[in-house]
Amino acid sequence: MWFRMVIKTDITKMLGIRHPILSAPMGPFYTTKLAVAVSEAGGLGVLSHNNLTGKNSVDELKKSMEYVVEHTNKNFGFNIRTARLQPDAIKLCRQIPRFIMNNPKIKEQCRYLITSAGSPRVMFNKHFEKLKESGSNIKHFHVTPTFHFAEKCVNMGVDGLVVTGSEGGGHQSYENISTLVLIQ
């Protein structure tokens, strides 16, 4: 006999998912089909911030979001890399919240925004605030590689953290501390 185990956690409740599994955005590559598959399986699929192809990253993220809602009715999220050297970060942080707000199906299903490789501060703008005030259930998480930065992110008002230590692939870690130690 087949039984499906369901683990209810604060994350599953917050993001409206069945299992406490979130896919990594793994930018700058396309993760659109992976996001659909993870969401369909009960986790939370996350779209990456992709801009290596020379295409407009705002348009590409919009297309990816439209693809997700065409292929699943489950919740999903997306990533914006907010590093100072990321030339499209400010555009994404302003235009994507407006796009979500004007697309009811995307607004309903897009429950997670993760900023990374920079500061979450750039996301705290009038467009994102209007999206949250409009009834969106979107939650803003930020990737943090240190305890000190985690405290700063919490004080800025993020809804959650993704903590990654020195072994995290593709992440900048300022201290030689593993994720297991950092989470404590």
Return mean pLDDT, the chain. Answer: 88
Residue 177 near residue 165, CB atoms below 8 Å? yes
Over residues 32-49, the pLDDT tens digits come to 999 999 999 999 999 988
Model pTM? 0.90
Q: How far is CA 134 from CA 66, 97, 143, 180, in A?
A: 20, 11, 26, 37
More confident residue, 146 or 4: 146
The average pLDDT across 109-113 equals: 96
> What is d(CA 17, CA 128) in angstroms, rounded to the nearest whole number?
22
Instruction: Answer whether the bond into residue 145 is a cis peptide, omega within 30°.
Output: no
Q: Are strands 110-116 and 160-163 parallel, antiparallel or unpaired?
A: unpaired
Tell whether the model's pLDDT for residue 1 goes beyond 90. Answer: no
Q: Which two tokens stand for residue 178?
A: 């593993």
Nearest to 170 by CA among 112, 113, 116: 116
Amino acid, single-letter form, for residue 47: L
pLDDT attached to residue 4: 67
- CA quadruple 51, 110, 8, 27: dihedral, nearest 10: 0
> In 3-state terms, what secondary structure has residue 52?
coil
Could you say which architecture CATH assigns to the domain 10-183?
Alpha-Beta Barrel (3.20)
> What is d(CA 160, CA 139) in angstroms, rounded to the nearest whole number?
8
Q: Which two tokens stand for residue 148?
A: 């000190």
Q: Where are the domains of the chain?
A: 10-183
Over residues 43-94, the pLDDT tens digits come to 999 998 887 667 888 999 999 999 999 999 999 999 998 888 888 889 999 9
